[in-house]
């Protein structure tokens, strides 16, 4: 087993010290190979320690110095920036990764989330739609798509997405909450709104916002 494969196996086993040594050995053995730097960067980003973020960024940038066409390095750096709430930078890199050939639903999904968190929901919409098309059974993507549609006041399609999520996952508190709010603001279906909001905070007692909106609607009905 080569050092990179050994490091990846160590990560799967949550043996991070062994992974650090393996990727260090990979870099020492092949200092011109970007893969070791990418793997080390991904490891540091996965650990989620603020003090490691700068090191992870340097590893990804070193990989891109060695191979500017490495979309794996671009994607890893995008994820690092997203986790650091550097959403504008993350969005640019996710878009670059998609244009560079990174496929699957995760890339457009993360680009959409980056744009959404940058305050650009309209720009996020086609990428979120694309993610849902690529992975139609992914509950998290469909939930995020529904929430984004609702934020843009596209209530009919939003309701369809949230209902899909609840069909797939009837105990999804976030879907109940968002569907309840949607009914409250866009229809006269107050009973349905209250039912979904109550279900949200029943499933998740810490869902304070669901209880707050439920109480507000109930008091307005009195």
8 A C-beta contact, residue 205 and residue 214: no
| 216 lies in some domain | yes
Residues 208, 209, 210, 211, CA torsion sign: positive
Q: What is the DSSP string of 1-30?
A: --HHHHHHHHHHTT-HHHHHHHHHHHHHH-
The whole-model pTM stands at: 0.91
Whole-number Å distance between alpha carbons of 77 and 64: 10
Task: Check residue 1 and give its pLDDT.
Answer: 63
8 A C-beta contact, residue 188 and residue 155: no
What DSSP state is assigned to residue 49? -
For the stretch 72-126, pLDDT in tens is 999 999 999 999 999 999 999 999 999 999 999 999 999 999 999 999 999 999 9
| 151 lies in some domain | yes
Task: Check residue 220 and give its pLDDT.
Answer: 79
| 77 lies in some domain | no
Q: What is the mean pLDDT of the chain?
A: 95
79 Cβ neighbours under 8 A, 6+ residues apart: 45, 90, 110
| 44 lies in some domain | no
Give 46's pLDDT tier (boundaries 50, 70, 90): confident
| 167 lies in some domain | yes
CATH number at residue 222: 1.25.40.10
| Total domain count, the chain | 1
| 191 lies in some domain | yes
| 149 lies in some domain | yes
Q: What is the 3-state secondary structure (H, E, C) of 97-136?
A: HHHCCCCCCHHHHHHHHHHHHCCCHHHHHHHHHHHHHHCC
What DSSP state is assigned to residue 170? T
Place of tokens 């989620």: 48
């Amino acid at each position: 087993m080569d050092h990179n494969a050994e490091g990846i196996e160590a990560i799967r086993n949550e043996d991070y010290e062994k992974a650090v040594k393996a990727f260090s050995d990979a870099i020492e053995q092949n200092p011109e190979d970007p893969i070791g730097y990418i793997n080390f960067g991904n490891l540091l980003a996965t650990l989620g320690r603020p003090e490691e973020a700068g090191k992870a960024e340097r590893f990804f940038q070193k990989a891109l110095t060695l191979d500017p066409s490495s979309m794996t390095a671009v994607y890893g750096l995008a994820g690092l920036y997203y986790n650091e709430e550097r959403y504008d930078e993350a969005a640019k890199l996710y878009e670059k990764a998609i244009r560079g050939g990174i496929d699957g639903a995760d890339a457009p999904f993360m680009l959409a989330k980056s744009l959404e968190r940058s305050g650009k929901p309209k720009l996020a919409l086609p990428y979120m739609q694309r993610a849902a098309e690529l992975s139609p059974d992914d509950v998290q993507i469909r939930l995020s798509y529904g929430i984004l549609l609702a934020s843009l006041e596209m209530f009919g399609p939003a309701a369809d997405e949230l209902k899909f999520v609840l069909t797939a996952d009837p105990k999804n508190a976030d879907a109940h909450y968002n569907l309840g709010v949607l009914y409250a603001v866009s229809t006269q279906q107050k009973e349905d709104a209250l039912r979904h909001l109550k279900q949200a905070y029943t499933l998740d007692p810490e869902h304070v916002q669901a209880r707050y909106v439920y109480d507000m609607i109930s008091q307005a009905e009195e």
